[in-house]
Amino acid sequence: MTDAEVRGERIVVFDTTLRDGEQSPGATLTADEKLEVADALVQLGVDVIEAGFPAASPGDFEAVRAIAERAKGTTVAGLARAIEGDIERAAQAVKGAESPRIHTFISSSDIHLTHQIRMSREDVLERVTASVAYAKKFTSDVEFSAMDATRSDHEYLARVFGRAIAAGATTINVPDTVGYTTPGEFAALIAFLRDRVPGINDVVISVHCHDDLGMATANTLAAIGAGARQAEVTINGIGERAGNTSLEELVMALAIRGAEFGGATTRVETERLVPTSRLVSTLTGLQVQANKAIVGANAFAHESGIHQDGMLKNRTTFEIMSPTDVGWEGTKLVLGKHSGRAGFRSTLAEVGLRLDDDQLNAAYQRFLVLADRKKSVTAADLVALVSDYLGAAEDGFELVRWNASIGSAGPATASVVLRSGVGDLVGDGEGNGAVNALLQAIDAATGLECELENYQVEAVTPGEDAQGQVTVRIRANERVFSGHGLATDVVEASARAYLAALSKVERGAPAATVSDQLV
Ligand code: KIV
Ligand code: ZN
């Protein structure tokens, strides 16, 4: 991207699904799942992928390193607190990227300075200079964030950003960390900073909004109207607490109403929005609400008679964009068991999934089994099938055999055989239904203690032969883990989902979050 593009109407789309998004409770992704999401983000056309927080754990470091090596045509950023150790880890992790970025941050509000990091304003200013200058030793592209910027004293915030720019920051990020600001107030803050901070016109102004009051997208758009040129977003708006600005809402707001925001545009391939949303939802286990803008199941559904009548006469009566523009129709690609390996591979590529040869062979075998049971296999089936395969591919428990019997005569009973690193495990269970009995049998086999917090089942596609997709959230060792499972039988899908979550428990605790690291 040229400097002119950055300073002009083109908005830099900075995706933080794999960092802030992964901080959503229970959304921890495996290494393969992160690579799959990164591939989808590259195809979607985001400008920057924030791949993780390398100092948080060896797993996070390795994921950022692998994504940096693989993602082409996009900048890969690693997050680091404003301390040398974090910055070195981030630098090592992103150094293999075509275009590496270190993103360093420190709080600027008095609330955080007093109660959390316990530093004086002067000490923070010195840390800003030292950390940005240190990051510059490793990469020319350095982003600096003033955490809790919107609740900071504005004069002081301007000094903080002035220090970061003087030390070499190329992007300065203004986070609304706690989702507190409003569109008018945020636009005024951006205008104030543009007026007061020396050198600000030579760097990119970025914004990072949280959705605690449901205003993240509106706040981001207001900041763009006031001159911000980078937006930090996540797929489906996932992220800490109420989440972050949703990528699909921002991109489509600019595609449809860009003129209202100074003609701002993005280079995102909008037809990839729905497949990418589905992929992230399946892998994280965070379901998209039906009425969610752009990617919710009802976003283009017309229920009332008056609306249906209008739609039949002319689509523009009740639709401001076409479902095909955001990838809804594109998900109707159909494969059958005679499609062959080449057709399978090219359909996967069309929905944004890239697998290596071994993964492709294994996924193809599962596709053949599915194609035998289901009349037509759609793109949605494929996304679910491949995500399920990747989620289960890492070490963990494998479902070898299961059996459940139910009837009106008494409680349901089930038995299970699992494969694990230490050999085969067997267990029996009894419960108030087939699913409950099978999960009890799995508990008996694994010996792991956990509490089932959430259980959801949905059909991947319409129709009687649809695959059932189950998502579970469990709590174990004070942590939350999610798992998803897929099968044409929902009892089996439930067992697969439960085992995927238990496998994460077995592999150890997920990466610590940014907030864990700060205290
Ligand atoms: O919300 C926030 O302030 C953050 C920073 C680390 C940018 O996520
Ligand atoms: Zn955040």
Decide if 269 is inside a domain: yes
Amino acid at 396: G
Question: How many C-beta neighbours within 10 Å does residue 333 have?
Answer: 18
Decide if 449 is inside a domain: yes
* pLDDT value of residue 2: 46
Provide mean pLDDT across the span 340-363.
Answer: 78
Q: Which ligand number lies closest to the CA of residue 53? A: 1
Q: Which two tokens stand for residue 280?
A: 């992230």
Q: Give the Å distance between the CA of 403 and the centre of ligand 2.
A: 45
pLDDT band at 485 (very low <50, low <70, confident <90, very high): confident
Ligand 1 and 151: CB distance under 6 A: no
Provide mean pLDDT across the span 500-508.
Answer: 83
Ligand 1 and 86: CB distance under 6 A: no
Give yes or no: residues 263 and 371 share one domain.
Answer: no
pLDDT tens digits for range 457-466? 887 776 777 7
Which residues fall within 8 angstroms of residue 195, CB to CB, at 6 or more apart? none
3-state secondary structure 65-110: HHHHHHCCCCEEEEEEECCHHHHHHHHHHHCCCCEEEEEEEEECCH
Give yes or no: residues 423 and 451 share one domain.
Answer: yes
Residue 117 is classified by DSSP as I
Decide if 297 is inside a domain: no
CA-based end-to-end distance of the chain: 37
C-alpha angle with apex 197: 11 to 182, nearest 5 degrees? 60
Give yes or no: residues 98 and 203 share one domain.
Answer: yes
Is the confidence at residue 188, as pLDDT, over 50? yes
pLDDT band at 359 (very low <50, low <70, confident <90, very high): confident
Read off φ and ψ for residue 85, nearest 5 degrees.
-60, -45
pLDDT tens digits for range 133-167? 999 999 999 999 999 999 999 999 999 999 999 99
Cα distance between residue 173 and residue 191, in whole Å: 14
Among the ranges given (16-25, 32-41, 335-344), the one the predictor scored with the smallest mean pLDDT:
335-344
Ligand 1 and 344: CB distance under 6 A: no
What residues make up the domain containing 76? Answer: 3-284
**Which ligand 1 atom is the nearest neighbour of the CA of 149?**
3
Amino acid at 177: T
Domain boundary, last residue among 222, 253, 284:
284
The mean predicted confidence, pLDDT, of the chain is: 89
Ligand 1 and 177: CB distance under 6 A: yes
Ligand 1 and 208: CB distance under 6 A: yes
Ligand 1 and 150: CB distance under 6 A: no
Q: Which two tokens stand for residue 400?
A: 């070898």
> Among 112, 145, 210, which is best to mutate for testing ligand 1, by the most ligand atoms less than 8 A from CB?
145
Element (H, E) at 471: strand 468-476
Q: Can you name the residues that pair with 210 across neighbouring β-strands?
A: 244
Whichever domain contains 101, its CATH number is 3.20.20.70
Q: Which two tokens stand for residue 190?
A: 């951006």
Provide mean pLDDT across the span 217-229.
Answer: 98
Provide mean pLDDT across the span 410-432.
Answer: 92
Q: Give the Å distance between the CA of 398 and the centre of ligand 1.
A: 37
Do 266 and 253 touch, CB atoms closer than 8 A?
Answer: no
Is the confidence at residue 297, as pLDDT, over 90? no
Give yes or no: residues 228 and 273 share one domain.
Answer: yes
Give yes or no: residues 272 and 347 share one domain.
Answer: no
Give yes or no: residues 387 and 408 share one domain.
Answer: no
Q: Give the Å distance between the CA of 209 and the centre of ligand 1.
A: 8
Decide if 128 is inside a domain: yes
Decide if 513 is inside a domain: no
| The dihedral sign for the CA sequence 474, 66, 41, 20 | positive
| 394 or 223, which is more confident | 223
Of 173, 184, 163, 249, the residue nearest 211 (C-alpha) = 249
Which residues fall within 8 angstroms of residue 390, CB to CB, at 6 or more apart? 30, 32, 33, 36, 283, 359
Domain boundary, last residue among 392, 418, 442:
392
pLDDT tens digits for range 40-53? 999 999 999 999 99
Give yes or no: residues 382 and 421 share one domain.
Answer: no
3-state secondary structure of 432: coil
Is the confidence at residue 64, as pLDDT, over 90? yes
Cα distance between residue 515 and residue 208, in whole Å: 16
Q: Which ligand number lies closest to the CA of residue 240? A: 2
Helices (H), 247-339: 247-257, 273-284, 305-313
pLDDT tens digits for range 69-113? 999 999 999 999 999 999 999 999 999 999 999 999 999 999 999
Which residues fall within 8 angstroms of residue 465, CB to CB, at 6 or more apart? 373, 374, 375, 488
pLDDT tens digits for range 324-338? 999 886 545 567 777
Q: Which ligand number lies closest to the CA of residue 24? A: 2
Is the confidence at residue 509, as pLDDT, over 50? no
Among the ranges given (117-131, 341-355, 391-405, 452-466), the one the predictor scored with the smallest mean pLDDT:
341-355
Give yes or no: residues 202 and 219 share one domain.
Answer: yes
Give yes or no: residues 402 and 386 share one domain.
Answer: no
Decide if 161 is inside a domain: yes
Please report, rounded to a whole number, the percentage of residues in the chain having pLDDT higher than 70: 92
Decide if 502 is inside a domain: yes
Whichever domain contains 402, its CATH number is 3.30.160.270
3-state secondary structure of 186: helix
* Residues 144/150/152/157 CA torsion (nearest 10 deg): 40
Specify the pTM: 0.80
* Residues 305/309/315/320 CA torsion (nearest 10 deg): -40
Q: Can you name the residues that pair with 204 across neighbouring β-strands?
A: 171
pLDDT band at 33 (very low <50, low <70, confident <90, very high): confident
Ligand 1 and 105: CB distance under 6 A: yes
Is the confidence at residue 63, as pLDDT, over 60? yes
**Which ligand 1 atom is the nearest neighbour of the CA of 16?**
8
Decide if 478 is inside a domain: yes
Q: Can you name the residues that pair with 398 across neighbouring β-strands?
A: 419
Give yes or no: residues 83 and 109 share one domain.
Answer: yes
Give yes or no: residues 353 and 489 share one domain.
Answer: no
What is the domain count for the chain?
A: 3
Do 90 and 102 touch, CB atoms closer than 8 A?
Answer: yes
Do 487 and 499 touch, CB atoms closer than 8 A?
Answer: no
Q: How many helices (H) and strands (E) does the chain have?
A: 18, 16
Do 280 and 37 touch, CB atoms closer than 8 A?
Answer: yes
Give yes or no: residues 169 and 278 share one domain.
Answer: yes
**Which ligand 1 atom is the nearest neighbour of the CA of 173?**
7
**Which ligand 1 atom is the nearest neighbour of the CA of 232?**
7
* pLDDT value of residue 506: 81
